[in-house]
Amino acid sequence: MKKKKGPLILTGVLVILLIVYFGLSSWNKKQDKKEEKEIKKEHCNNEECNCKEAKEECTCNEECSCGDNKLEDKIKNLEEALLRSQAELINYKRRKDEETNRIIKYAEEDILKGFLPILDNFERAISMDDNNLEDEVSKFLEGFKLMYKQIKDLLEKFEVKEIDCLGKEFDPSLEQAVVVDHDETKESGVVTVVLQKGYMYKDRVLRTAMVKVNE
């Protein structure tokens, strides 16, 4: 009987060790799950995850739903930034088109402005009284008149028109007052004399008129 007690004791010890081993393993697994749950809860409540749910219970799955919300916010921000960029591109293209059209519309402005002093000189020449001139000089004057008319016709083709201001109220956007007149027969602020003609190019002032304005 004494010989049989040794194996029985050894078997009992092994059974106890197995029970302790499996008990510890089960306890460790429970602890691991508990720690994992706590980590997920902290992840939901930290500053990087803008979760608005209650801090006591975070309904996070293995992939935190708060993280999904953050991703959706990033996508929304990117979409808004894309829309803003598209709007800026459209506005930039419109501004460039307007600038290009403006350049094309007034492309001849500087050239046409250069014709105005020539036109002034022709006007001074043809304003002479040809009745007292010799025949040969009168012929030159007739040639000047013809050239003057050709230049006027050319300017009109490019929509250059003379500013009509004589006898009208002074307009500082179209005229420049260089002399004050004192004519009691005319109203105050009226243009009495045009000293140098002004011209419009399409809807833009090519040259302001120099005028005398009644006080």
3-state class (DSSP) for residue 78: helix
The string of pLDDT tens digits covering residues 159-169 is 999 999 999 99
What band does 96 get if pLDDT is binned at 50, 70 and 90? Answer: confident
C-alpha angle 47-52-53 in degrees, rounded to nearest 5: 115
Answer yes or no: are the C-beta atoms of 59 and 80 closer than 8 Å. no
pLDDT of residue 62: 47
The reported pTM is 0.54
The yes-or-no verdict on residue 188 having pLDDT over 80 is: yes
User: Quick one: 175 exposed, middle or buried, by C-beta within 10 A (0-12, 13-18, 19+)?
Assistant: buried
The string of pLDDT tens digits covering residues 34-66 is 666 665 555 555 544 444 444 444 444 444 555
Strand 209-214 to strand 175-181: parallel, antiparallel, or no bridges (unpaired)? parallel
What band does 142 get if pLDDT is binned at 50, 70 and 90? Answer: confident
Q: DSSP alpha helices (H): ranges in the chain?
A: 2-45, 65-105, 109-126, 135-157
Task: Please give the average per-residue pLDDT across 26-33, as a whole number.
Answer: 63
Which of 2-16, 111-125, 126-140 ranks highest by mean pLDDT?
111-125
pLDDT of residue 156: 92
3-state class (DSSP) for residue 112: helix
Q: Among 3.40.47.10, 2.30.22.10, 2.30.30.90, 3.90.470.10, what is the CATH number of 161-215?
A: 2.30.22.10
The 10 Å CB-count burial string (b at 16+, else e) for 178-204 is eeebeeeeeeeebbbebeebbbbbeee
- Please give the structure tokens belonging to residue 136: 């040969």
The string of pLDDT tens digits covering residues 105-128 is 788 888 899 999 999 998 888 887
Q: Which residue has the higher pLDDT, 111 or 33?
A: 111
The yes-or-no verdict on residue 136 having pLDDT over 60 is: yes
To which residue do tokens 């008149």 refer?
145
pLDDT of residue 205: 94
What band does 178 get if pLDDT is binned at 50, 70 and 90? Answer: very high
List the domain boundaries for the chain. 75-105, 108-158, 161-215
Residues in CB range of 63: below 8 A, 6 or more apart = none
Residues in CB range of 212: below 8 A, 6 or more apart = 177, 178, 179, 180, 181, 191, 192, 193, 194, 195
Phi, psi (rounded to 5 degrees) for 140: -65, -40
Which of 56-65, 67-76, 137-146, 155-164 ranks highest by mean pLDDT?
155-164
